[in-house]
Amino acid sequence: MATLCRPAIGVPENVITMEETLDLARTLHADHPQLGLALRLIGNTGVRTRRLVRPIEETLRHPGFAARNQTYEQEAKARVPEVIRRAVANAELTVRDVDVIIYVSCTGFMMPSMTAWLINSMGFRSDTRQLPIAQLGCAAGGAAINRAHDFCTAYPQANVLIVSCEFCSLCYQPTDLGVGSLLSNGLFGDAIAAAVVRGQGGTGIRIERNGSHLVPDTEDWISYGVRDTGFHFLLDKRVPGTMSMLAPALRELAEQHAWDVGSLDFYIVHAGGPRILDDLCQFLNLDPAAFRFSRATLTERGNIASAVVFDALDRLFEEGAAVDSQRGLIAGFGPGITAEITLGRWVSGEPAPLRDLDEAAVQPA
């Protein structure tokens, strides 16, 4: 079975605090008729600090979609390789051992994908397969884990590198003045994450099952309006209440695996906001401490989109309390409304068998 190894996380050097965010909102939107509501909502996020890929003064100036996207590409190429190198080292592999790169991002666009540049510039094999995922938003981290699991199930000796690159600040739109947009301006942060899923060997979460769930007729609840100025994030006011619709899907997948979702040993879930986590505690009958890793990510980084599950997972590794055979759940939530769910057990230090690259297990089907 495939094992999800320890992630590597990279955050930019530009820090903005909750107090600075609130002061900016008061200054920029002093005449906004719902400023008080927006300030309360931002304050209730619990986000103490966020990291931005460019200084706040530059972030607040919108130079146009082309310039923003050029910044995305430049910053990704400058920052992603170092995070990849750490993730591959965490998995005790080299880039030559990687068979697939899954690159997830919803905050910039490149074609060819960033995967092509990585293969050409970092020494990956030329037959490394590429899977860019651009339109699953915050759910994409969970989706990437699940697609890596699927690939390793088909090719048991394969290794899959997942890269999440989210520069949410580059989607800031100064003309979007709805309360949902003002809340988003105080919630989202920037980060890069990478992790390897090993088909054989490795320490981490051995994946046993994965699943997806789409809530019908919620396509417009989380979406992008694509306009001349770029991506305009649209957030329906009903989104914070979606856990009532998604918690049963988590419970059902666990039951299919003969597990009780309320009695697992660890939980790594998307930290879209405090209500998401609070509602999950209620619907799954969990103590708030069950989501301590996700809450810490939200507090220190904000909502970093698809990178959240990897940042929270890294905190599980950092805590160092997991022991072999402990059971856990990973879940990413995003547009659709979609849940990507993973079940697995902690495993430590199992060596991998010798790998033969000529074996059919890693050749195209």
- Residues 262-284: tens digit of each pLDDT: 999 999 999 888 999 999 999 99
Whether residue 257 lies inside any domain: the answer is: yes
Q: Give the domain CATH number at 322.
A: 3.40.47.10
Domain with 154, as residue range(s), is 3-202
Looking at the structure, tell me whether residues 193 and 49 fall in a common domain.
yes
| Token pair of 256 as six digits | 């299919």
- 281 part of the active site: no
Do residue 232 and residue 195 come from a single domain? no
Domain end call among 152, 179, 202: 202
Catalytic pick from 106, 138, 168, 171? 138
Single pTM value for the model: 0.93
> Are residue 220 and residue 114 in the same domain, yes or no?
no
Q: Could you say which of 176, 202, 228 is where a domain stops?
A: 202
Query: d(Cα 64, Cα 82) in Å, to the nearest integer?
Result: 29
Quick one: 40 exposed, middle or buried, by C-beta within 10 A (0-12, 13-18, 19+)? exposed
Q: Do both 67 and 124 map to the same domain?
A: yes
Residue type, position 359, single letter: E
pLDDT for 361: 40
**Same domain? 165 vs 45:** yes
What are the pLDDT digits (tens) for 97-150? Answer: 999 999 999 999 999 999 999 999 999 999 999 999 999 999 999 999 999 999
Residues 184 and 222 placed together within one structural domain of the fold: no
351, pLDDT greater than 90 = no
Q: Are residues 169 and 192 in the same domain?
A: yes
Secondary structure letter of residue 345 according to DSSP: E
Q: What angle do CA 131, 310, 163 make, to 5 degrees?
A: 25
Q: What is the DSSP letter of 353?
A: P
Buried b / exposed e along 3-27 (16+ C-beta atoms within 10 A): bbbbbbbbbbebebebeebeeebee
Clarify whether residues 15 and 155 are in a common domain. Answer: yes
pLDDT, tens only, 158-196? 999 999 999 999 999 999 999 989 999 999 999 999 999
Q: Is residue 208 located within the same domain as residue 130?
A: no
pLDDT digits (tens, 9 = 90+) for 290-311: 999 999 999 999 999 999 999 9
Contact predicate 233/171, CB 8 Å: yes
Domain count, the chain: 2
Q: Which domain-ending residue is among 148, 183, 202?
A: 202
Closest CA to 137 of 11, 229, 221: 221
Cα atoms in the Cβ-side hemisphere of radius 13 Å centred on 137: 23
Q: What is the structure's pLDDT at 353? A: 55
Q: What is the pLDDT of residue 362?
A: 43
> Are 175 and 288 part of one and the same domain?
no
Question: Residue 261 in contact with residue 207, Cβ under 8 Å?
Answer: no
Look at residues 46, 48, 104, 39 and name the one whose alpha carbon lies nearest to residue 276: 46
- Rounded mean pLDDT of the chain? 93
pLDDT, tens digit (0-9, with 9 covering 90-100), for 45-93: 999 999 999 999 999 999 999 999 999 999 999 999 999 999 999 999 9
Count of residues in the chain = 365
pLDDT of residue 25: 94
